[in-house]
Amino acid sequence: MVVDIEGVKLHLAHPDELAVQWVGQEDVMRQLLAAWLVIDERDLPMNPRLIGKPGVGKTTLAYAAAQRLGREVYIMQATADTRPEDLLISPVIEGEGMLRYVASPLVTAMLRGGIVILDEGNRMSEKSWATLAPLLDTRRYVESIVAGVKIKAHPMFRLVSTMNDDSSTFDLPEYIHSRLQPQILIDFPSYDEELAILKENLPFADDEILEYVTEFLQHAHAADERYSARDGINIARFALKMRHMAKGATPRAELLRVSILETLDDEALRYVPRQ
């Protein structure tokens, strides 16, 4: 799709389509939806950030919340190399002496009234965040120096940023920190929730394998290890594949032990459930 902004033709991004389902922890879902809510014509939506350890489902939560609202979803992956123009509009050479202006997923969401998920936002530098400062307050616009246009956000536009709670990220500058509120914390799920997550992602797996992996994860959570449901899905999936290759010749417990070792490390074996 192409739109015209102040005489500049912008080529828009395509929305993301994922087959995901949010399982459990409805309290954080309600908090996110409440942050996006507009309760009066003088009100504005908030720009929440989802904080948690890698793999706890921050992006899944954001996508599932957008799905509940029936909106287009655009996911933009932030990295330490993300430049201001990457966030807004990038020029692409198209033929001799011709430029094509390509809108980022964020700008596309702004124009179409969609929802953008700025994934792992605290991996991004302050220079890039500064580009978004006017979007995150009452002004709700961005200005592209590359294309020479100012873009105002559609009234239905919503933003959420996911942020990993680890040491490989930048500290947010205070003026951005105050614009990305509320802070919604996502913790590890309970046993029943985690088992339901594994069943949702591996509906073809037998209950014994999923229960074993869930128990392993719960032991790890109790010790404040960073192993997540994502790790559990990979452990169970690898064990199922090895069992298929072995045609049942290797005991299930041994397959799971090997899968934990190869998916994570030997330190993880301390949380293997007792038989």
Structure tokens at 104: 């980022």
pTM of the model: 0.88
pLDDT bin (cut points 50, 70, 90) of residue 65 is very high
Per-residue pLDDT at 49:
95
Nearby residues of 173 by Cβ (< 8 Å), 6 or more positions away: 126, 129, 130
Residue 54 exposed, middle or buried by CB count within 10 Å (0-12, 13-18, 19+): middle
The DSSP 8-state label assigned to residue 145 in this structure reads T
**87 near 146, Cβ under 8 Å?**
no
CATH superfamily of the domain spanning 2-185: P-loop containing nucleotide triphosphate hydrolases (3.40.50.300)
SS3 203: coil
Instruction: Return the domain boundaries, the chain.
Output: 2-185, 191-271
Structure tokens at 264: 């994570």
Q: CA torsion, points 205, 211, 215, 216, in degrees to nearest 10?
A: -30
Q: How far apart are CA 205 and CA 22, in angstroms?
A: 19
SS3 110: helix
Per-residue pLDDT at 25:
85
Does 92 have pLDDT greater than 90? no
pLDDT bin (cut points 50, 70, 90) of residue 12 is very high
Provide the residue type at 29 as one letter.
M
Average pLDDT over residues 58-73: 95
Mean pLDDT taken over the chain: 92
Per-residue pLDDT at 53:
87
**217 near 226, Cβ under 8 Å?**
no
Write out pLDDT tens, residues 230-245: 999 999 999 999 999 9
